[in-house]
Chains A and B, each alone.
Chain A
C-alpha cells in the first residue's frame, strides 16, 4: 500500500459522490470523476499487470500516455470485447477489476494442466500486461463521417487558442482531444491566465467554444492515421463504446502537445516509478498521492517544481535528485525552506524492490564523463517520480531535427500542409504556447480562404513557469544486474539495443532496429528518443550527428 487519497484537492473528482467497486474480490471506493487508474492508485494498488516478455510487475507509468500497463477488456457485449488503458476507463459503480495472476504462483497450475481450464488467453504485446476488468460497455459503435474546415488536434492552450481564432472567423472547427477534459497539462501548470487558474481558463474557454454552432468538440478522441485526400481517421473512446471517425478537414492544426520523457536507470520499470507529470497529475486531477515517501529524480528544473507542487498539495516529498550540479538557486532555496532534501549532481542509479519500489540507490554523477561516484546512499521510498524533459508529439511524416536545447526532436516541416503549434512545435513556455496557437489559428483561416478579422487575444499570463530545459543526458550507467528499460510496452532494454548494435543494424531508419525497439508496431512512444540517446553513446557521437546521418520519421503522436 503506497498511494492514498489526499484530504482535499482533485479538480476532476466530486468527493460528494462516492463510488464502490471491487479489486481482486476486495471492496474499494473511489469518487465520481475518477478513472480506474486513479481509483486503483488511491486504493493503494501499485501493480496493475505484468510484462509479457519478462513477466515483471508493472504499474502506472504516465498519466497521459498509453503506456499504462493495465489494459482492460470491457465486455458488455461478449463478442465485442474492448481493450482500453486504465486511465481511459471511467470508474463505475459495481465495477469488478481483476489483476493478472502472479507469474510464479501460476506455474504449478500450468504444470498440472489447470492453465487449460482458464479458457482462451488474450494475446497481448510484450510488456503490455494482461489485467482484465469487466464493465458494461457496449463495444464498438461503428464509424461516423465528419467534415470541417479546420481540424484542431489537441485541446491544450495552443489548440484552444487556434480553435478560438478559427471559430471567430466563422469557420467550422472540429476540436479533438484524447483526454476527457480540455486544457492538456494546464491542470499541472502554475500561474494564472487572465486572473484565473489555468485549468479554469481552459474549462471556460472550452465551454465557450462548445456553445458556438460552428464548433464541435470531440473529447476522448485520438487521431490515429491520415489517409489520402486529407481524410483522417480518429477513434473516440466514448462512454457507450468506441467509435471510429473519418474526418475530412480543410486544414489541420496539430497542437498535440508534448510528453514527458523518462530517464534510463536500473529498475526504471518497477511499480511506483512513474513520470513526474503523472504523479503531479494524480494529485491535482484526482486528489491522489502516489506515495508517502516520494523521491523526485530529474535532469531539469521541472523535477524541483514538481516536488514543490506536490508538497503544496500535501504529498510527502522526501528528496529531489538532480543530475545537474547547479540547479536554479531560487528552487534550491524553496526546497530548503520546505525541508525537502536536494541531491544535486547525483543520480538514481537503481530502483530497489521486487513487486514495487522500496528504495533507491543514489550516487554522484559526472555528466561530462558519464561516470558514477563511489559513494552510495540507500534511502527508502514508495514512489519515484522521474523527469527527463519534454518530447514534442509529432505527426508521423513530419521531418524532425534535433534541438539540443530541448534534447528532443522538433518538427522542421510536415509532409502534409499542416500547421504545428504549441508544445508540439517545441514551444514549452505557456506564453509561447498560447501565441503559437493563435498564429496557427490565423494560418488555418488563411489556408481555408476565410477572412481573418480581429483575432481573439491571448490571455494574460501571470507568474508563468519558464520552459524546463533538460541536461542533455538521460542515461545512467548500469549498476549491477538491473535491467534498464527503453520501452516498457515491448520490454526493450538498453542491453537489447547494445546487442542490436553489435549485430550491425544500420541506424534509426533501419527496419530491423525499429523492430527491436518496437517501433514497427506502435512507434514506441517514449522509447525512441531514449534509444537514439543510447545509440549515440554506443557510436561515440551526439544525437544530432546520429540524426543528421539518416532521415528521422516522427516517432509517435498520431498519424
Chain B
C-alpha cells in the first residue's frame, strides 16, 4: 500500500474526490484531481459568421485559432477549443469571462452559453491514464494521432465526456454535473486496476500542466 494514512484507503462509493484517497498497492499509476473551473462557456457561431467569431475568440484568448475542430488553443488566461463546426469551448480561470465574451460577440454572430455550473472537470494524469481511458474510449491516443492540444467528445459509461489532451500523459475530462457522480464511479473502478491517488483540487486549470 502507499504511504497514505489507512483511513484514506476508502472503498470509493461517492462522487466526491477526496484528496489523499488512494487505491491499489504500490505507487499509483493514475492521479485524479478535481478541476476548479471558473468559467466554462460554449459558443455557437452562425455558419456565415464562423470566421469572424473564430478570430474574435482567438484575440480574446490571446492565442492562435485552434485551426480545425478537434483541437484547442492555449492562451495565458483561457483555453479555446473547437468542438465541432460552429461550436467552441471556452475554459478560463476568470469568472467574468461569461460577461466579457457576451459583450464581445454580437448576438447576430454567435450565442454564448454559460455552462459553469453544468460541467465538472477532472484531470486524469499518470502513466496509466491512457489505459484507463481506453477501457471505454475507442480513440487512438497515440501521440501522432491525438497529440497534446487535441480534444474529442466521447461517451464513457453512457456519460458524454469532453476529453482534452493537455500533455503526453495528462487529460482534462469535462462531464455534465448531473452525471458526474456516475462518471467518477466508473473512473475510480477503471483506475483501480492500476492504482490511483486523488490529488489536491486544481484552482488554476488553464495553464499547461507540468508533465
CB distance from A165 to the nearest CB of B (A): 20
Q: Is the CB of A144 within 8 A of B138?
A: no
Q: Is the CB of B140 within 8 A of A144?
A: no
| B96: Cβ under 8 A from any A Cβ | no
Cβ contacts under 8 Å, A212 to chain B: none
Q: Is the CB of A144 within 8 A of B134?
A: yes
Cβ contacts under 8 Å, B145 to chain A: 147
Q: Is the CB of B142 within 8 A of A145?
A: no
| A141: Cβ under 8 A from any B Cβ | yes
| B202: Cβ under 8 A from any A Cβ | no
Q: Is the CB of B139 within 8 A of A145?
A: yes
Q: Is the CB of A147 within 8 A of B131?
A: no
| A246: Cβ under 8 A from any B Cβ | yes
Q: Is the CB of A144 within 8 A of B135?
A: yes
Give complex CA distance A248, B137 in Å: 12
Q: Give A142-167 as 1s and 0s: 1 = Cβ < 8 Å from B's Cβ atoms.
A: 11111100000000000000000000
Cβ contacts under 8 Å, B193 to chain A: 141-142, 240
The number of residues on chain B lying at the interface, defined by a beta carbon within 8 Å of a beta carbon of chain A, is 12
Cβ contacts under 8 Å, A240 to chain B: 193
| A242: Cβ under 8 A from any B Cβ | no
Cβ contacts under 8 Å, B159 to chain A: none
Interface of A is mostly: strand
Question: Would you list which residues of chain B between 154 and 211 have a CB under 8 Å from chain A?
Answer: 190, 193
**For residue B140, which residue of chain A has the nearest CB?**
A147
Given contacts A141-B193, A142-B190, A142-B193, contact A147 B142 (CB under 8 A): yes
Cβ contacts under 8 Å, A246 to chain B: 138
Cβ contacts under 8 Å, A172 to chain B: 142
Q: Give A427-438 as 1s and 0s: 1 = Cβ < 8 Å from B's Cβ atoms.
A: 000000000000
Q: Is the CB of B138 within 8 A of A145?
A: yes
* Other-chain contact of A248, B131, B135, B140, B190 (Cβ < 8 Å): B140
Cβ contacts under 8 Å, B139 to chain A: 145, 147
Give complex CA distance A146, B97 in Å: 39
Cβ contacts under 8 Å, A146 to chain B: 134
CB distance from A481 to the nearest CB of B (A): 54
Q: Is the CB of A144 within 8 A of B142?
A: no
**For residue B189, which residue of chain A has the nearest CB?**
A142
CB distance from B70 to the nearest CB of A (A): 16
Cβ contacts under 8 Å, B134 to chain A: 144-146
Given contacts A142-B190, A144-B131, contact A248 B142 (CB under 8 A): no
Question: Would you list which residues of chain B between 98 and 138 have a CB under 8 Å from chain A?
Answer: 131, 134-138
**For residue B137, which residue of chain A has the nearest CB?**
A145
Cβ contacts under 8 Å, B140 to chain A: 147, 248
Give complex CA distance A140, B190 in Å: 12
**For residue B141, which residue of chain A has the nearest CB?**
A147
Question: Would you list which residues of chain A between 237 and 257 have a CB under 8 Å from chain B?
Answer: 240, 246, 248
CB distance from B28 to the nearest CB of A (A): 16
Q: Give A263-304 as 1s and 0s: 1 = Cβ < 8 Å from B's Cβ atoms.
A: 000000000000000000000000000000000000000000
**For residue A142, which residue of chain B has the nearest CB?**
B135
**For residue A247, which residue of chain B has the nearest CB?**
B138
Cβ contacts under 8 Å, B135 to chain A: 142-145
**For residue A141, which residue of chain B has the nearest CB?**
B193
Which residue, A141, A145, A172, A246, has most C-beta atoms of chain B within 10 A?
A145
Question: Would you list which residues of chain A between 216 and 263 have a CB under 8 Å from chain B?
Answer: 231, 240, 246, 248
A residues whose Cβ falls under 8 Å from a Cβ of B: 141-147, 172, 231, 240, 246, 248
Q: A145-B138, A147-B140, A248-B138 are in contact. List 17 more A-B contacts (CB 8 A).
A: A141-B193, A142-B135, A142-B193, A143-B135, A143-B136, A144-B131, A144-B134, A144-B135, A145-B136, A145-B137, A145-B139, A147-B138, A147-B139, A147-B142, A231-B138, A246-B138, A248-B140
12 example contacts (A-B, Cβ-Cβ < 8 A) are as follows A141-B193, A142-B190, A143-B135, A144-B135, A145-B136, A145-B138, A145-B139, A147-B138, A231-B138, A240-B193, A246-B138, A248-B138
